[in-house]
């Protein structure tokens, strides 16, 4: 089978979807021919490409075709949208010209599923839709756009793409519930988690990066990752403001659209500290530096985003503070595995109390970390990728069967 994977971002882009797209492409290429149709690197890439209408390369035996989309830095939304539109305008005709058996669409750009459905429909081949973030729900819930008439058209087109897809692959049970509620046949919506490589690398306790992150703090509550539109950031900052000065520090490692606002709102609060992203080889140090790791989803965005950082935390054997609604996948896993605490994303007092409680009970914290490590074995990335490949193959087989071919 020849599979065309549509995603604007692909290494050397450094986004999570670029890395996941590479993992999925590698897994599929073990049994099938895979062509990735991407754009010019623009998401904090470690290598920039000069303009070319079409650039072909091989990455780990995978054919990667890059159309000559604009490559503005991602931090300005208008220029980012220009990247999206230029990618689609060039990717669609190229996709129509490539002879393939199945379209696999992800969610970069946010309307990639609609584009994938249109291409699959014109070519008369099946579509598998892998939802990383659920749009336009994400754009509305995150305050990126207002619910105007054109957003309603976006939603209707997206629902049509969901119904057309032979299989819809989602990241968690909460996202599955959201998709099914849009009128999609439940049998077509499959949960495949991002998972984590098992075992996870362990950093030496005396590594300089750990000392740098922790500083002089006695107890570090750490959030590592994108400071985007999905988190209950005001709740975390307000919780820090009411915590006593007793050795606790709330550390944010990363960047994103809300970082400037967060830094401004935390002015005068010595408990809060902001640090840049660390190099990839220091991720084990980041995991080891936190006594308690935060995963947060603001109310209303459950099932719209499913933070994959949870699995890295589990694999590192660290306890989790889930600042998220109870019906989210994150909260359900933390409750089920008893590997942390779940607190209301609208109640800073509850967040502060949870931090104080766990700081004062090292034995309980240690036990949570041990249970997190055991739980991580359920989410091995190799197993999830094998499941992903199976879903794609099942979609192709189903399509052949409906056309009367055995």
- Per domain, the residue ranges of the chain are 2-195+381-402, 208-379
pLDDT tens string, the chain, 406 residues long: the values are: 999 999 999 999 988 899 999 999 999 999 999 999 999 999 988 888 999 999 999 998 899 999 999 999 887 888 999 999 999 999 999 999 999 999 999 999 999 999 999 999 999 999 999 999 999 998 888 778 888 889 999 999 999 999 999 999 999 999 999 999 999 999 999 999 999 988 888 899 889 999 999 999 999 999 999 898 889 999 999 999 999 989 999 999 998 888 999 999 999 999 999 999 898 889 999 999 999 999 999 999 999 999 999 999 999 999 999 999 999 999 999 999 999 999 999 999 999 999 999 999 999 999 999 999 999 999 999 999 999 999 999 999 976 665 544 3
Asked if 2-195+381-402 and 208-379 have one fold, the answer is yes
CATH classification code of 208-379: 3.40.50.2000
| pTM as predicted | 0.91
The answer to whether domain 2-195+381-402 has CATH 3.40.50.2000 is yes
Per-residue three-class SS string for the chain: CEEEEECCCCCCCCCHHHHHHHHHHHHHHCCCEEEEEECCCCCCCCCCCCCCCEEEEEECCEEEEEECCCCCCCCCHHHHHHHHHHHHHHHHHHHHHCCCCEEEECCCCCCHHHHHHHHHHHHCCCEEEECCCCCCHHHHHCCCCCCCHHHHHHHHHHHHHHHHCCEEEECCHHHHHHHHCCCCCHHHEEECCCCECCCCCCCCCCCHHHHHHHCCCCEEEEEECCCCCCCCHHHHHHHHHHCCCCCEEEEEECCCCCHHHHHHHCCCCCCEEEECCCCHHHHHHHHHHCCEEEEECCCCCECCECCCHHHHHHHCCCCEEEECCCCCHHHHHHHHHCCEEEECCCCHHHHHHHHHHHHCCHHHHHHHHHHHHHHHHHHEHHHHHHHHHHHHHHHHHHHHHHCCCC
């Amino acid at each position: 089978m020849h599979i065309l994977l549509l995603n604007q971002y692909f290494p050397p882009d450094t986004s999570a979807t670029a890395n996941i797209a590479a993992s999925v492409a590698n897994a599929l290429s073990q049994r099938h021919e895979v062509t990735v149709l991407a754009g010019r690197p623009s998401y904090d890439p470690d290598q920039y490409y000069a303009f070319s209408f079409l650039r072909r390369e091989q990455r780990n035996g995978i054919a990667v075709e890059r159309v000559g989309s604009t490559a503005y830095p991602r931090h300005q939304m208008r220029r980012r949208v220009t990247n999206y539109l230029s990618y689609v305008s060039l990717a669609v005709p190229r996709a129509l010209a490539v002879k393939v058996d199945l379209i696999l669409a992800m969610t970069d750009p946010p309307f990639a599923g609609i584009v994938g459905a249109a291409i699959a429909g014109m070519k008369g081949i099946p579509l598998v839709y892998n939802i990383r973030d659920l749009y336009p729900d994400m754009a509305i819930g995150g305050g990126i756009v207002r619910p105007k008439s054109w957003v309603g058209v976006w939603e209707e087109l997206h629902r049509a793409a969901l119904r057309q897809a032979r299989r819809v692959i989602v990241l968690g049970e909460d996202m599955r519930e959201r998709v099914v509620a849009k009128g999609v046949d439940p049998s077509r919506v499959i949960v495949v988690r991002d998972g984590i490589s098992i075992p996870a690398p362990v950093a030496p306790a005396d590594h300089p990066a750990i000392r740098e992150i922790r500083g002089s703090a006695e107890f570090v509550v750490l959030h590592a990752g994108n400071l985007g539109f999905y988190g209950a950031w005001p709740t975390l900052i307000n919780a820090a403001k009411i915590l006593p000065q007793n050795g606790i520090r709330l550390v944010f490692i990363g960047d994103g659209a809300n970082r400037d606002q967060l830094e401004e709102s935390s002015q005068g609060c010595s408990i809060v500290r902001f640090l840049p992203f660390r190099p990839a080889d220091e991720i084990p140090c980041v995991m080891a530096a936190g006594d308690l790791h935060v995963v947060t989803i603001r109310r209303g965005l459950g099932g719209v985003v499913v933070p994959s950082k949870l699995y890295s935390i589990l694999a590192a054997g660290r306890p989790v503070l889930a600042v998220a609604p109870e019906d989210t996948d994150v909260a359900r896993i933390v409750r089920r595995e008893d590997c942390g605490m779940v607190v209301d994303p609208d109640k800073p007092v509850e967040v502060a109390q949870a931090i104080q409680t766990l700081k004062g009970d090292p034995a309980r914290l240690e036990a949570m970390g041990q249970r997190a490590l055991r739980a991580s074995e359920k989410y091995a990335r190799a197993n999830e990728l094998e499941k992903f490949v199976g879903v794609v193959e099942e979609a192709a087989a189903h399509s052949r069967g409906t056309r009367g071919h055995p």
